[in-house]
Amino acid sequence: MSLRLEGKVAVVIGAAGGIGRGVAERFAEEGARVLIGDGKEAEGRATAAAIGGDFLPVDVSRYDDVQALVDLALERYGRLDVAVQNAGIYPWQLIEDTTPDDWDRVLGVNLKGCFNVARAALAPMKAQRAGRILFTSSITGPRVTGPGHGHYAASKAGINGLIRAAALEYSAWGITVNGVEPGNILTEAIKEHRGADYIADMEQSIPLGRLGSTRDVANAFLFLASDDASYITGTTIIVDGGQILPEGNDFRIEVKNL
C-alpha cells in the first residue's frame, strides 16, 4: 500500500476532536508523523496518544504558542512539511448583540490563527523549498451565511483572501497554500449543540441527503497535503454534499426505476 505522507512531518492545530482529529488520524494512517496543538489539553493528548503523535497546548490566537509548536516539530523531527490550522469557534450571536470583545475573540482564533500559522511555518518551509499550508475555511462566509454568524462568516471569508495572498507570496519557495470549505459535518459538537431536529432539517437541504463525516473532510486535506496536489495553490475544496448548489428547497427529482 502506498503511504501518501510517508516521511512527512505535520502539525495540526485544533485536533482535539471533530474535523481536526479526523485530519490528524488520516495523516497518521498515511505515514505522517503528527504533532497536535490544541487548547483542550486532555482531549488533545488523547488524540495524540491514539495516533502515536506528540501534543503541545496551543492557543492559536497567540503567535508564540504557534511558534512553539513549529519549534517542537523541528526539534523532534528536523523538518516541517505540512501545517494545518483547523481551530475555530462559532458562537451564535446577532451583530447587535456582538461586543467588540466578542468580535476580536472570534477573529483572533479563526483568522489571526491562520496568519500565525502561515507566518510561523514559513521559515522552515523556505529552507526546505517545499511545504503545504492548509486552513479550514467554511462555506459559511465565502458562499452562504445566516443570522447570527456575522463574525464567523467574516473570519472565514478572510481566510480565503489570506490563502490567495499567501499562495502568491510563498510560491517562489515551492510552498503551496490551500484550504477546505466544509459544509455541515456530523461532529460531536453538532450533535450536542444543534440536536436531531437541526440535523434532520439540514439533511433535507443537502442534495446528497446526509451531513458529511469528518473523514470526508480529512480526505480533502490529505489530497492537498500530498504530492498529488503539487500543482494546486491558492484555492479551496468545497466539501458540502452539494449544499450550496440549489437555488431553493424544491430541487429533488423523482428517481424512477427503468
Residue 33 sits in a domain of what CATH number?
3.40.50.720
- pLDDT score of 41 more than 90: yes
Residue 121 domain-assigned? yes
When pLDDT is cut at 50, 70 and 90, the band that residue 255 belongs to is: low
Q: How far, in Å, are 102, 118, 165, 181, 215 from residue 22 at the CA level?
A: 28, 21, 27, 15, 6
- Sole residue written with cell 479563526: 110
Structural domain count of the chain:
1
Identify the active-site residue in 63, 77, 90, 152: 152
> Which helix H or strand E contains 181, and what residues bound it?
strand 175-182
Residue 248 domain-assigned? no
Residue 2 domain-assigned? no
Residue 115's domain comprises 9-239
- Give residue 125's pLDDT: 98
Residue 88 domain-assigned? yes
Cell of 40: 483542550
Mean pLDDT of the chain: 95
Residue 244 domain-assigned? no
Amino acid at 71: D
Residue 258 domain-assigned? no
* pLDDT above 70: percentage of residues in the chain: 98
Residue 210 domain-assigned? yes
Q: Does the annotation count 63 as an active-site position?
A: no
Q: What is the mean pLDDT of residues 8-35?
A: 98
Q: What is the mean pLDDT of residues 55-61?
A: 98
Q: What is the mean pLDDT of residues 94-113?
A: 98
When pLDDT is cut at 50, 70 and 90, the band that residue 70 belongs to is: very high
